[in-house]
Structure 1
Amino acid sequence: MNRLSDQRVKRIAALVLGTFAGAFMIDCQYRPLESLENKLEMGKIELSQKYQRIREERRIRQMEWQEGIFEPQSKKEPHIT
């Protein structure tokens, strides 16, 4: 009986240690992806703000042009949509 209980303890210990080791490995794989996802989201936000600023500048220039206040400096301005 003592021998049987020693085997059970060893099996339980192996299962518990295996579970913790597996969880640690999964956690190590997930965390780098989490930081990449955060960087991607920040890049999306910055890009969105950049194009909103460009659209606002164009809207203001168009209004000024319609009112006769603004004269285009050159005809070679980049065309960004």
Structure 2
Amino acid sequence: MERDYITDDDEGKAVVDSNGEQIGMIAEVRSGTAYVDADPSLADTVLSKLGWSDADGDDYPLQENRIHTVTDDEVRLNEEF
């Protein structure tokens, strides 16, 4: 099922640009805003998928209007990102 909004269940998903290139990972969802880790380690990825990770100063908030679709595996961004 595809959608165009973020939920808490999206933590740990890959963030990809409109060409399908991975540019990061959702480290945390806080108050409906996704925070993207642009250079996640394996540990960051596992912790985030388990819901045990928090966004830090190196994570970037993702504006909802930049999201094209959210699938079971990834968050795909609009072309203008």
Give TM-score, length-normalised by structure 2.
0.15
Q: Does 1 or 2 have the higher relative contact order (CA < 8 Å, sep 6+)? A: 2
Q: Which has the larger radius of gyration?
A: 1
Give TM-score, length-normalised by structure 1.
0.15
Which one has the bigger strand percentage? 2
Which one has the bigger helix percentage? 1
